[in-house]
């Protein structure tokens, strides 16, 4: 029983870490489409 709780705890920690990492990546880099097109891109494209 203790081993199952430990695995669940580590799974929650990993999931939380991935969520935080993805959030920081999207907040830091901004819109991925704007990065590809650049600042001069037309909004219609």
Count the neighbouring beta carbons within 10 Å of the beta carbon of residue 37: 13
Give the model's confidence band at 34: pLDDT under 50 very low, under 70 low, under 90 confident, else very high. Answer: confident
Q: What's the pLDDT at 1?
A: 86
pTM: 0.60
Contact 35, 29 (CB under 8 A): yes
Residue 32: phi and psi, rounded to 5, are -60, -35
Contact 25, 32 (CB under 8 A): no
Q: How many CA atoms lie within 13 A of 39 on its CB side?
A: 0
Query: Which pair of tokens denotes residue 23?
Result: 């959030």
């Amino acid at each position: 029983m203790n081993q199952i709780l430990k695995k669940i705890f580590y799974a929650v920690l990993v999931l939380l870490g991935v969520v935080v990492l993805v959030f920081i990546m999207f907040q830091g880099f901004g819109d991925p489409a704007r990065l590809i097109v650049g600042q001069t891109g037309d909004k219609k494209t």
